[in-house]
Amino acid sequence: MNILVVGSGAREHALCWVIAKSPLADRLYCAPGNAGIAHVATCLDVGVDDTPGLLAACRDHAIDFVVVGPEGPLVDGLADALAQAGIKVFGPSAAAAILEGSKGFMKDLCAQYGIPTAAYGRFTDAIAAKDFIARTGAPVVVKADGLAAGKGVIIAETVPDAHAAVDNILGGQFGEAGAELVIEEFMDGEEASFFALCDGTNVLPLAGAQDYKRVGDGDQGPNTGGMGAYSPAPVLDAAMATRVMAEIIRPTVAAMTAEGRPYQGVLYAGLMITADGPKLIEYNVRFGDPECQVLMARLASDLVPALMACADGGLDTITLDWKDEAALCVVMAANGYPGAYDKGSVIKNLDAADAMADVTVFHAGTATQDAATIATGGRVLGVTALGSTIAAAQQNTYAAVDLINWPGGFCRRDIGWRALDR
Ligand code: AMP
Ligand code: GLY
């Protein structure tokens, strides 16, 4: 079977890395890929948003199965276009991807089907939004309804901050994504990421993970796409995972089917584990990045049959085994990220880090130039290692990070602290 992975991040590198090992994969392609992905797949120069180009690539390379990494093309209907062309695809239809594409849709679904989440209101009008804020008080969370590259969420500590967020978002800060607002009660607790594969009917839970969204040590500074992650997440023990499946994931999958939007793909629940139990913060319709890197490092089974079952049905016949070891990923980013960052700096000694036992360096924003690896993006590398415990995985990961010679980049030095503090 010929397989095409769509995307260019470390998440897609991790997916290609496991898919390349599958006996089911004859040829593996990635569009557009990056310098690291080029070691395990043939990279095609087609962007993730270029649907006609992706369809043409599928024809040219006799692709049997497409695995879509990022949310943007899913929300825009890439899975539908591929299915219409008769190509099997891992990833939800646009009708189902609305779970991530519209926070308002997700909140209304939760309200209608009794899925635990923060109390909320939906607004297109600033006066009504500020009325709601007057009643809830601060802290309060103001969100743009649509996709805003992870930046459309403002945790307002004061009422004036909340008002400013309302005015900025409705004033066009996030374009069309901010034409509508969701305002939410602030939930206190510990965050965790939960992943489940779905075929529209059956649900297969994957391992849990936690990520680190802030750019700086001690969870300081602005939010990013994610600066590190580990799996398993101690806060998501077996009992909590059972609750999450029963109270959140299964009711959502059933609700989506009842709404005529059967969910097929990976469902990523961003959770707050509160004193009252697990509550949903948000849904994503794709794997987390960097959570995918630690999940793939721990996976002991062939992923391809499970991904195909999401498209074909029959997920109830699939089991996935996980290594007992913990995995931890540290993201190395270009200096300046998540603001304006430098491009083109040279990264040296990657091979030495990658050659360490139980270490894999997943690439995100990299390219090859004159035989050197250069940084081309904000998040550039996801250095990932296994260990018998999270502490051991952390030690191995930072030993690998310290071998990499890249003055143009930085990383957090404290990934894993939340688990180690417990
Ligand atoms: P989201 O993009 O919806 O995942 O939000 C980004 C981050 O904002 C989350 O990872 C949480 O840390 C925080 N957040 C979002 N909604 C809430 C909420 N209702 N209460 C507390 N924190 C929240
Ligand atoms: N790690 C957060 C995300 O993928 O959205």
Per-residue pLDDT tens over the stretch 353-375: 999 999 999 999 999 999 999 99
Q: Is the pLDDT of residue 141 over 90?
A: yes
- Nearest residue by C-alpha to atom 4 in ligand 2: 288
Nearest protein CA to atom 3 of ligand 2, as residue = 288
pLDDT tens digits for range 389-403: 999 999 999 999 999
Of 267, 212, 268, 209, give the one whose Cα is nearest residue 236.
209
What does R_g of the chain's alpha carbons equal in angstroms?
A: 21
| 149 has a pLDDT exceeding 90 | no
Ligand showing the shortest atom-to-Cα distance for residue 224:
2
Tell me which ligand sits closest to the C-alpha of residue 293.
2
- CATH 3.40.50.20 domain range(s) in the chain: 2-93
Task: Render pLDDT for 233-291 as a digit per residue (tens, 0 to 9).
Answer: 999 999 999 999 999 999 999 999 999 999 999 999 999 999 999 999 999 999 999 99
Give the CATH number of domain 2-93; options: 1.10.287.3510, 2.40.50.320, 3.40.50.20, 3.10.20.30: 3.40.50.20
The whole-angstrom separation of Cα 280 and Cα 110 is 9
For CATH 3.30.470.20, list the domain ranges present in the chain: 190-317
Determine which residue's CA is closest to atom 6 belonging to ligand 1.
Answer: 153
Number of DSSP helices (H) and strands (E) in the chain, helices first: 15, 24
* Ligand 2 neighbour 211 (Cβ under 6 A): yes
As a whole number, the mean pLDDT across the chain is 95
Q: Which atom of ligand 1 is nearest to the CA of 143?
A: 3
**Which whole number is the average pLDDT over 92-121?**
95
Question: Given pLDDT bands bounded at 50, 70 and 90, which one contains residue 413?
Answer: very high
pLDDT at 174: 82
The percentage of the chain sitting over the pLDDT mark of 90, rounded to a whole number, equals 88
Which atom of ligand 1 lies at the shortest distance from residue 150's CA? 2
DSSP string, 138-159: SSEEEEESS--TT--EEEESSH
Out of 3.40.640.10, 3.40.50.1240, 3.90.600.10, 3.20.20.70, select the CATH number for domain 326-421: 3.90.600.10
* Residue 101: predicted pLDDT: 92
Pocket of ligand 1 (CB under 6 A): 118, 141, 150, 153, 155, 184, 186-187, 191, 213, 270, 281-282
Distance separating alpha carbons of residues 205 and 303, to the nearest angstrom: 13
Query: Residue 30, class by beta-carbon neighbours within 10 Å (0-12 exposed, 13-18 middle, 19+ buried)?
Result: buried
pLDDT at 388: 97
Distance (angstroms) between ligand 2 centre and the Cα of 97 equals 15
Could you tell me where the beta strands, DSSP code E, fall in 201-325?
A: 203-205, 210-211, 214-216, 220-223, 228-231, 264-274, 277-284
Residues 316-327, mean pLDDT to the nearest whole number: 97
The ranges of the chain annotated as CATH 3.90.600.10 are 326-421
Confidence band, pLDDT 50/70/90 cuts, at residue 153: confident
- β-sheet with 27-32: strand ranges across: 42-43, 27-32, 2-7, 65-68, 88-90
Task: Tell me the mean pLDDT in the region 373-394.
Answer: 97
Phi, psi angle pair for 233, to nearest 5°: -100, 115
- Does residue 148 carry a pLDDT above 90? no
291 lines ligand 2 (CB under 6 A): yes
Ligand 1 atom with minimal separation from the 185 CA = 19
What local confidence, expressed as pLDDT, does residue 44 receive? 98
Nearest ligand atom owner, CA of 103: 1
Q: What is the CB-side half-sphere exposure of residue 222 using CA atoms within 13 A?
A: 11
For 198-229, the pLDDT digits (tens) are 999 999 999 989 999 999 999 999 889 899 99
Q: For the chain, where do the domains classified as CATH 3.30.1490.20 start and end? A: 119-185
| 39-58 residue pLDDT tens | 999 999 999 999 999 999 99
The CATH homologous superfamily for domain 119-185 is ATP-grasp fold, A domain (3.30.1490.20)
Model pLDDT, residue 222: 86
Q: Which atom of ligand 2 is nearest to the CA of 291?
A: 1
**Domain 190-317 CATH class label:** alpha beta
Instruction: Check if 288 has its Cβ closer than 6 Å to any atom of ligand 2.
Output: yes
